[in-house]
Amino acid sequence: MCGIAGFYGKGSLEDLKAINSTHSYRGPDANDVFEGPGIYLGHQRLSILDLENGKQPMKSICGRYVIVFNGEIYNHLELRERLIDKDYKFQTSHSDTETILNGYIEWGSEVVTKLNGMFAFCIYDQEKKSLFLARDHFGQKPLFYTCTKDTFIFSSELRSLCSHSEVRPEVSKLSLKKYFAHDYIPAPRTIFKNIYKLPASNFMKVDLKNLDIIISNYYQLKFSPREYNFNEACDELRLKLAKAVDRCMLSDVSLGVFLSGGIDSSCVANFAAKNSKEPIHTFSIGFEEKSFDESAYAKIVSNHIGSTHHTDTLSIEKAKEVIPHVLSKLDEPLGDASLLPTYLVSKFARENVKVILGGDAGDELFAGYDPFKALRPALLVSKLIPSFGRDIIRGLSGLLPVSHDNMSLDFKIKRFLRAFDYPQSQWNSWWMSSLDKKEFESLFNEKCKPEELFSEAIEEWESCNSNNIVDRTITFFSRMYMQNGILCKVDRSSMMNSLEVRAPFLDLELVEFVMSLPHSYKYKKGITKYILKKSLESELPHDILYRKKKGFGIPIASWLRDEKSFTFKNNSEYMNNDFINSKIKLHRNLKENTKSFLWSLYVLENTYINEYL
């Protein structure tokens, strides 16, 4: 796990050093640069594999190609053997970086279709004067870029890219709207005009002679349901889960597992314990507020699998201490408040290990979120209750007492009712949004166009190769929320602590198998993750598998009522300050729970982005 950067055109070695130093925590073990005619490539290394020989930037044996790479390739030894059979020579003993490099020489752009892992990399062809950049199938590793008429720049983080002397950041108002719509900014956009994220499962070719850019998609999440005997499908899923976890345990350094006590992390920890010759280390974070705390369940799982378990507790006092540090390093605004506990559990884990396995993607692939439970009632409401009836129900919902507990009843009902004036392609977006349409219009003092606001989500919904609403919702969460929110949060919070986090649920063989399962196996009779739970009944305690889902939430709603600790600058020329003040007062007077909007605003105002607002 590393930080990569580079540019061609205007700039100097000092620009590259500025970029590298800004994200140096991504790879504190070593750093180096490659310098050629008009081109600079930089690398910050977190040493995980081939500690002695895997240094970067790495040149091919022939000297023509240079690579900088961030990530881990779990099948690199298999690919290495295939390349050796084709008479390729290797100068390292087991570096996955060199496997990618030789793979590119042999297969060209097709190399990305053969990689099972997480990655963002750039390969410079000194003969053709071209760059090849790629990002992994699901977006686990970040890659930002910008291009002017005479300069191309890329980096692992937006904040570090902006350190280049040729970059002139300017906030995009549409991106700002999308941020408050999603609590993240969907790829390929960033908060700034003319700076972009390479989307997941895409590669880019850059002709340095004229700076022409071609971007291509190499992978799509496709549903291919087959006829399975359910029990046999459970057995196969269990085998593939164990194999995926085993692949992700490849490491030359110490390794552990995040363990929340939920199904996904418990599943990963269980198979990691079985695959390990010694007791594994597991790590969890608890909360003083009971409605958010899951540490007791994590302990139950730890006792069940025999792990060496470590627990820390997050209080508002500890949050106050770390928030300024975390937000000062955040490269683009991210409104998911679970960034804080993810950062703290990463910091906590890094004291003992250098690599962590996590349960990310289980909810997305197996229909685990609450909106999946809302789909059937939503279909009935939209079909049976006319618009005026829904308006009456909305009015009555306003009489419900406001609660700041985790996933409270009033929160769920109000969010549920928000979506019914819009097509199905927008339902999940409105359910997840921190504001409704009227609030967007008040915040930005102009008409809200939902089709523009949620354009990326609508595109993903409509491009899904299944017409089933569960499958399409899986696509939404996998391609939108997971890529731009969950995986971004995990990457940034772990990398701030120089910790590598791996997601066994995103093993390609496992994902392809899950995509072949009928949607009714994932969500059945009101039970989310149905087949995952059934397949794990022989592995984990029943109370862990079938307890009510909490999610990795934190008590940010009650924390935001603390006026002394959480103050708002409210100084943006893009937004309506009176509307913002009204939302702050409503929340602090317990008239509304506006935590999502207020936290997203607080994040925005306390990152480096604020100076451009």
Tens of pLDDT, residues 16-44: 999 999 999 998 888 889 999 999 999 99
Q: What is the pLDDT of residues 542-590, one digit of tens each?
A: 999 998 876 666 778 888 888 888 899 888 889 999 999 999 999 999 8
Distance CA(70)–CA(26), nearest Å, equals: 9
Query: If pLDDT is split at 50, 70 and 90, which confidence band does 191 have?
Result: very high
Axis-axis angle for helices 469-476, 370-384 (nearest 10)? 130
Q: Specify the residue for token string 């604020």.
A: 610
Which of 187-191, 337-341, 457-461 is the least confident region?
337-341
The per-residue pLDDT for 144 is: 98
The per-residue pLDDT for 551 is: 62
Give the percent of the chain with pLDDT over 90.
76
Cα 201 from chain centroid (whole Å): 14
Query: If pLDDT is split at 50, 70 and 90, which confidence band does 401 have?
Result: low
The per-residue pLDDT for 385 is: 67
Distance CA(556)–CA(285), nearest Å, equals: 15
Distance CA(596)–CA(594), nearest Å, equals: 6
Query: If pLDDT is split at 50, 70 and 90, which confidence band does 390 have?
Result: low
Edge-to-edge strands, sheet with 144-147: 30-36, 39-45, 2-8, 152-155, 144-147, 195-197
Distance CA(347)–CA(356), nearest Å, equals: 11
- Burial label for 433, CB within 10 Å (0-12, 13-18, 19+), is buried
The per-residue pLDDT for 247 is: 95
The per-residue pLDDT for 55 is: 85
| Strand-pair category, 255-258 with 281-287 | parallel
Mean pLDDT of the chain: 91
Which residues lie below 8 Å from residue 520, measured CB to CB, with a gap of 6+? none
Query: If pLDDT is split at 50, 70 and 90, which confidence band does 395 have?
Result: low
- What's this model's pTM, rounded to 2 decimal places? 0.93
Query: If pLDDT is split at 50, 70 and 90, which confidence band does 316 have?
Result: confident
Determine if the peptide bond prior to 279 is cis (ω within 30°): no
- Burial label for 150, CB within 10 Å (0-12, 13-18, 19+), is exposed
Structure tokens at 147: 């291009």
Structure tokens at 421: 């004036």
Q: What is the pLDDT of residues 329-355, one digit of tens each?
A: 999 999 999 999 899 999 999 999 999
- Burial label for 527, CB within 10 Å (0-12, 13-18, 19+), is middle
Distance CA(269)–CA(282), nearest Å, equals: 7
Distance CA(214)–CA(135), nearest Å, equals: 14
Helix (H), strand (E), coil (C) string for 263-312: HHHHHHHHHHHHHCCCCCEEEEEEECCHHHCCHHHHHHHHHHHCCEEEEE
